[in-house]
């Protein structure tokens, strides 16, 4: 396929093969085999981001969470592996390293990137956890720190090296801290370090971990983390990341051998600088049909879309379940555009909230019921398994039966 003609002439171009973009591509391809679709991403694989804490703690191989796009896309979808560098909104073109790609309709689903909130030194000194590569780097840093701890002779230095500090007590931080706490004793012993030497610290600026969740869920998660010996420091805002460690606003220094920042996300720069209307954290403002305000030919789905939760009035949190639901609506609306039928307004249906805490336990809030323990972990495993099945199943999905 000639990259310059890809997506031209009223065709549909999907930017981003993450949870939202891949879902739009799979749904539309299954329902409209006659329509030309172009999917653009910097990777030729889909990343199961919800499984990254396991990769970062060495409990899952990096390759296991890279799903090759070739295996799940039908031939109808033209996949272009390239970096998107900008947008020519007037001429309706994506500007990419492989050349311009014209769109008739564009689906923007480029996800998020870590937000360091302009904390000095954080971007340079702390690892992030937003790609399989990031997760691999965390795991490599943990094993390198334990190797260094084994070689150190000073007990203080050993203890410092064997300490992992996680910044941000949201779901990602909690999952990473729990997973590491459970794995580190075993990994340490394999590196010749006493299994009781490693420590995991979870540093959170707000008054609680898992902010916005029910008090019961927070209590249960806090209890499990305590049993795993994770040291949770709430009300601990990081002022700067220095060579010595995280310097808190109250002057305290948090030392460690590995620092990971999981404190929040924002829209990628390429979107913030696009000239599209953006709101909180650079997310794109959309109408009820998920079309960009003043650009009805551009739909947005996933983390990038700024969609308010009608119950709270707040923007929906960046979650995979939201990305999938928005992807569903965008796929239906593109079908409606092709048929010339009315568009469907997006309605968020909350399926609940599940967080794994360690390798065997978790917490969940579903339909007003809070659980904590093995059942919640099983739920999380089931959700991930179902998601993988849906990606494969959608390829052969028969629109007549739905």
State which of residues 8, 14, 18, 224 lies at the interface with ligand FAD (CB under 6 A): 18
For the chain, how are helix, strand and coil distributed in percent, rounded to 5?
Answer: 35, 25, 40
CB closer to ligand FAD, 248 vs 271: 271
Number of residues engaging ligand FAD in binding (CB under 6 A): 33
Q: How far is the CB of 58 from ligand FAD (least distance, A)?
A: 15
Helix (H) or strand (E) holding 61: none
Is residue 167 helix, strand or coil? strand
Tell me how crowded residue 367 is: count the other CB atoms within 10 A of its CB. Answer: 7
State which of residues 14, 20, 164, 286 lies at the interface with ligand FAD (CB under 6 A): 20
Tokens of 385: 């398994």
State which of residues 12, 13, 24, 49 lies at the interface with ligand FAD (CB under 6 A): 49
Q: Which stretch binds ligand FAD (CB under 6 A): 17-25, 26-34, 284-292, 341-349?
A: 17-25
- Does position 67 interact with ligand FAD (CB under 6 A)? The reply is no
Q: How far is the CB of 260 from ligand FAD (least distance, A)?
A: 10
- Does position 217 interact with ligand FAD (CB under 6 A)? The reply is no
Q: Which stretch binds ligand FAD (CB under 6 A): 31-39, 118-126, 197-205, 300-308?
A: 300-308
| DSSP letters for 191-215 | TTS-TTS-EEEEE-SSSSSSTTS-H
Question: Which of these, 356, 375, 128, lies nearest to 225 by C-alpha position?
Answer: 356
- Does position 351 interact with ligand FAD (CB under 6 A)? The reply is no
Show the CA angle centred on residue 297, arms to residues 296 and 303, nearest 5°. 85
* C-alpha span between 41 and 36 (Å, rounded): 17
Interface pattern 81-120 for ligand FAD (x via CB under 6 A): --xx------------------------xxx---------
Query: Of 128-187, which residues contact ligand FAD (CB under 6 A)?
Result: 129-130, 171-172
Under 8 Å CB-to-CB from 334, ≥6 apart: which residues? 12, 24, 28, 105, 107, 299
- Does position 237 interact with ligand FAD (CB under 6 A)? The reply is no
- Does position 318 interact with ligand FAD (CB under 6 A)? The reply is yes
Show the CA angle centred on residue 55, arms to residues 51 and 61, nearest 5°. 105
For 171, half-sphere exposure in the C-beta direction (CA atoms, 13 angstrom radius) is: 21
Query: Of 256-295, which residues contact ligand FAD (CB under 6 A)?
Result: 268, 270
For binding to ligand FAD (CB under 6 A), which residues are involved?
Answer: 16-21, 41-43, 47, 49-50, 52-53, 83-84, 109-111, 129-130, 171-172, 268, 270, 302-304, 318-321, 323
């Amino acid at each position: 396929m000639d990259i310059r003609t890809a997506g031209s002439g009223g065709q549909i171009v999907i930017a981003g093969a993450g949870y939202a973009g891949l879902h739009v591509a799979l749904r539309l391809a299954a329902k409209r085999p006659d329509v030309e679709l172009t999917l653009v991403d910097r990777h030729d694989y889909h990343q199961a981001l919800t499984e990254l804490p396991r990769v970062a703690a060495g409990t899952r191989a990096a390759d296991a969470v890279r799903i090759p796009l070739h295996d799940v896309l039908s031939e109808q979808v033209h996949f272009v592996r390239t970096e998107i560098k900008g947008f020519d909104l007037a001429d309706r073109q994506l500007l990419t390293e492989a050349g311009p790609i014209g769109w008739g309709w564009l689906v923007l689903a480029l996800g998020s990137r870590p937000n360091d909130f302009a904390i000095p030194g954080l971007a340079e000194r702390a690892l992030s956890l937003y790609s399989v590569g990031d997760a691999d780097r965390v795991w490599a840093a943990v094993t390198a720190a334990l190797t260094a701890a084994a070689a150190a002779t000073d007990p203080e230095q050993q203890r410092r090296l064997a300490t992992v500090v996680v910044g941000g007590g949201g779901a990602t931080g909690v999952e990473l801290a729990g997973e590491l706490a459970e794995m580190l004793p075993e990994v340490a012993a394999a590196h010749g370090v006493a299994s009781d030497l490693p420590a995991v610290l979870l540093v959170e600026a707000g008054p609680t971990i898992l902010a916005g969740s029910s008090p019961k869920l927070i209590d249960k998660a806090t209890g499990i983390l305590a049993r795993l010996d994770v040291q949770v420091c709430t009300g601990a805002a990081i002022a700067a990341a220095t060579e010595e460690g995280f310097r808190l606003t109250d002057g305290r220094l948090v030392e460690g051998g590995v620092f990971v920042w999981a404190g929040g996300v924002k829209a990628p720069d390429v979107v913030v600088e696009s000239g599209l209307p953006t709101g909180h954290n650079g997310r794109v403002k959309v109408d009820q049909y998920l079309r960009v305000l003043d650009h009805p030919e551009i739909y947005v789905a996933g983390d990038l879309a700024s969609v308010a939760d009608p119950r709270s009035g707040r923007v929906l949190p960046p979650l995979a379940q939201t990305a999938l639901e928005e992807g569903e609506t965008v796929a239906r609306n593109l079908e409606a555009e092709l048929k010339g039928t009315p568009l469907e307004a997006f309605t968020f249906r909350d399926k609940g909230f599940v967080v794994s805490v360690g390798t065997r336990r978790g917490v969940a809030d579903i339909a007003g019921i809070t659980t904590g323990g093995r059942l919640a972990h099983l739920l999380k495993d089931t959700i991930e398994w179902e998601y993988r099945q849906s990606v494969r199943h959608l390829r052969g999905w028969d629109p007549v039966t739905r």
